[in-house]
């Protein structure tokens, strides 16, 4: 019976295949189960397995310890250096996420093993042709080679991308802060308590709204200015009135070629109290005393826009120049014959073509500016500080506010909540952008 073969494989992997008279295939699945069991026993405490210590999940293998740890986040804090047996809540959480990830991978093999036993037995009962083990392995390599080849990369993505993301997300549901630092204190699950406090506490939600609105204004404004200047530069350089366009194009690429950090630190020094800008303004008689630019929110934000425009316009200029090389001169010639003037040709032909090609890049640039940590951190440091805002300044983006909450104030759970909001915003924009791409629609 097909169900009997599936049940056998569900308990002892590969036994259903042996029942179907495919022992080599059965051995393949059994070795996978044996490997899973080996991980559990191989990562446990040997003394526990020998029966020398009382059994406890913290001494068990990866899967038992991981599931226990992520559920309880530990039971014994390290109250003093004399304590030798203690639990580290964040390490238990990481171990639990790793254990769950590996178990999910084995679950895929288990489901494959059960379905194979059922389908083969069903085919045998219906007198249909069944591939022998050699043909099965050959077909597996032929049909699934791409998946086998990308598996090592997938493992690294899970270990170094997905698990840290899930860990940061999980911290938002705990009380992990300056008052609960492992291993001296245990961290506890608090559910949506931190989210509720952020959204209902006036001090938190007012800061969140103000920082969030500035982050949105910054993301769109910085993209707009850089794109506008790059667009105008591309039009000027590619016009028929400019001689030596390659030279000018190469010169205007330099701001993009120089490392951004160098330019950011240079511009920061330009606008300090005794910097170049103040010296020039005093020298030409526009001011009598230096302006403390970074003490004012408006000046600080203006400086950020100026620096970002300087660093970003060259990228747009190059992209738009590449698009303009694909414009068909015959189309413009036909439009001219039909009586369209230069402005009409630009409005009806040049602009739509450029925007159609570069709109996905614009959206991704907005998403990138949403998290442009370096620009704000190295130029204004998030300042000037605003006493009406909770651990934030007038130029702080959500990402720099998260940095301040984490590194300076150890409010990890609140920082995780903010990171979750950032992730949802960026994921929403990126998904919307992906769904609009021609490649996705054609696929």
On whether the CB atoms of residues 345 and 336 are closer than 8 A, the answer is yes
pTM of the complete model beyond 0.85: no
pLDDT value at residue 227: 93
Cα separation, 372 vs 215, whole angstroms: 10
Tell me the two tokens of residue 273: 């109290």
| Residues paired with residue 174 on neighbouring β-strands, in sequence order | 189
Indicate if the pLDDT at residue 82 is higher than 80.
no
Indicate if the pLDDT at residue 330 is higher than 80.
no
Cα separation, 179 vs 431, whole angstroms: 38
The pLDDT of 306-314, averaged and rounded, is 92
Indicate if the pLDDT at residue 148 is higher than 90.
no
Q: Which residues contact 121 (CB under 8 A, 6 or more apart)?
A: 1, 2, 4, 5, 6, 16, 19, 20
Cα separation, 39 vs 57, whole angstroms: 15
Indicate if the pLDDT at residue 67 is higher than 70.
yes
Indicate if the pLDDT at residue 240 is higher than 80.
no
Q: Which residue has the tokens 């440091």?
A: 381
Indicate if the pLDDT at residue 442 is higher than 80.
no
Residues spanned by CATH 1.10.3720.10 within the chain? Answer: 198-442
pLDDT value at residue 331: 79
Give CA separation, 247 vs 180, 211, 250, in Å: 60, 42, 5
Q: Which residues contact 23 (CB under 8 A, 6 or more apart)?
A: 17
Query: What percentage of residues in the chain have a pLDDT greater than 70?
Result: 95
**Confidence grade of residue 96 (pLDDT, cut at 50, 70, 90):** very high
- As its CATH architecture, domain 198-442 has Orthogonal Bundle (1.10)
**Confidence grade of residue 255 (pLDDT, cut at 50, 70, 90):** confident
- Mean pLDDT estimate for the chain: 87
Q: Which residue has the tokens 């920061």?
A: 268
pLDDT value at residue 35: 95
Q: Per residue, what are the HEC states of 101-153?
A: HHHHHHHHHHHHHHHHHHHHHHHHHCCCCCCCHHHHHHHHHHHHHHHHHHHHH
Query: What percentage of residues in the chain have a pLDDT greater than 90?
Result: 49
pLDDT value at residue 127: 81
pLDDT value at residue 429: 74
On whether the CB atoms of residues 359 and 340 are closer than 8 A, the answer is no
User: Helix crossing, 62-72 with 23-42: angle to 10°?
Assistant: 50
Tell me the two tokens of residue 365: 């640039």
On whether the CB atoms of residues 391 and 405 are closer than 8 A, the answer is yes
Cα separation, 29 vs 371, whole angstroms: 45
The tens digit of pLDDT for each residue in 347-369 reads 888 888 888 888 878 888 888 89
């Amino acid at each position: 019976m097909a169900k009997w073969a599936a049940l056998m494989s569900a308990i002892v992997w590969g036994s259903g295949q042996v029942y179907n008279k495919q022992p080599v295939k059965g051995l393949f699945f059994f070795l996978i189960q044996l490997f899973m069991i080996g991980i559990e026993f191989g990562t446990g405490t040997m003394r526990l397995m020998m029966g020398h210590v009382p059994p406890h999940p913290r001494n068990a293998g990866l899967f038992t310890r991981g599931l226990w740890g992520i559920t309880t986040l530990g039971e014994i804090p390290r109250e003093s250096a004399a304590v030798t047996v203690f639990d580290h809540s964040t390490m238990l959480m990481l171990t639990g996420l790793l254990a769950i990830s590996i178990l999910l991978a084995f679950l895929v093999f288990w489901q494959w093993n059960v379905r194979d036993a059922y389908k083969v037995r069903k085919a045998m009962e219906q007198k249909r042709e069944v591939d022998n083990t050699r043909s099965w392995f050959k077909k597996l390599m032929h049909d699934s080679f791409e998946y086998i080849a990308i598996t090592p990369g997938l493992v690294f993505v899970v270990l170094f991308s997905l698990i840290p993301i899930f860990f940061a997300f999980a911290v938002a549901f705990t009380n992990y802060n300056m008052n609960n630092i492992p291993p001296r204190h245990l961290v506890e699950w608090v559910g949506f308590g931190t989210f509720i406090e952020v959204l209902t506490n006036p001090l938190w939600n007012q800061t969140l709204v103000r920082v969030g609105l500035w982050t949105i204004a910054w993301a769109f404004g910085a993209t707009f200015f850089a794109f506008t200047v790059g667009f105008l530069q591309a039009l000027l350089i590619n016009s028929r009135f400019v001689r030596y366009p390659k030279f000018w194009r190469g010169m205007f690429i330099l701001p993009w070629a120089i490392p951004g950090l160098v330019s950011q630190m240079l511009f920061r020094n330009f606008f300090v109290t005794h910097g170049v800008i103040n010296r020039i303004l005093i020298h030409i008689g526009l001011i009598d005393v230096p302006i403390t630019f970074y003490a004012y929110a408006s000046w600080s934000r203006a400086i950020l826009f100026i620096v970002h425009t300087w660093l970003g316009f060259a990228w747009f200029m190059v992209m738009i120049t590449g698009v303009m090389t694909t414009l068909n001169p015959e189309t413009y010639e036909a439009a001219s014959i039909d009586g369209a003037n230069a402005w009409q040709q630009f409005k009806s032909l040049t602009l739509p073509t450029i925007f159609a090609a570069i709109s996905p890049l614009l959206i991704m640039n907005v998403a990138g500016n949403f998290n442009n940590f370096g620009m704000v951190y190295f130029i204004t440091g998030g300042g000037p500080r605003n006493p009406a805002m909770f651990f934030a300044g007038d130029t702080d983006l959500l990402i720099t506010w998260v940095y301040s909450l984490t590194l300076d104030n150890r409010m990890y759970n609140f920082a995780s909540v903010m990171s979750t909001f950032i992730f949802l915003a960026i994921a929403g924009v990126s998904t919307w952008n992906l769904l609009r791409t021609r490649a996705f629609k054609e696929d």
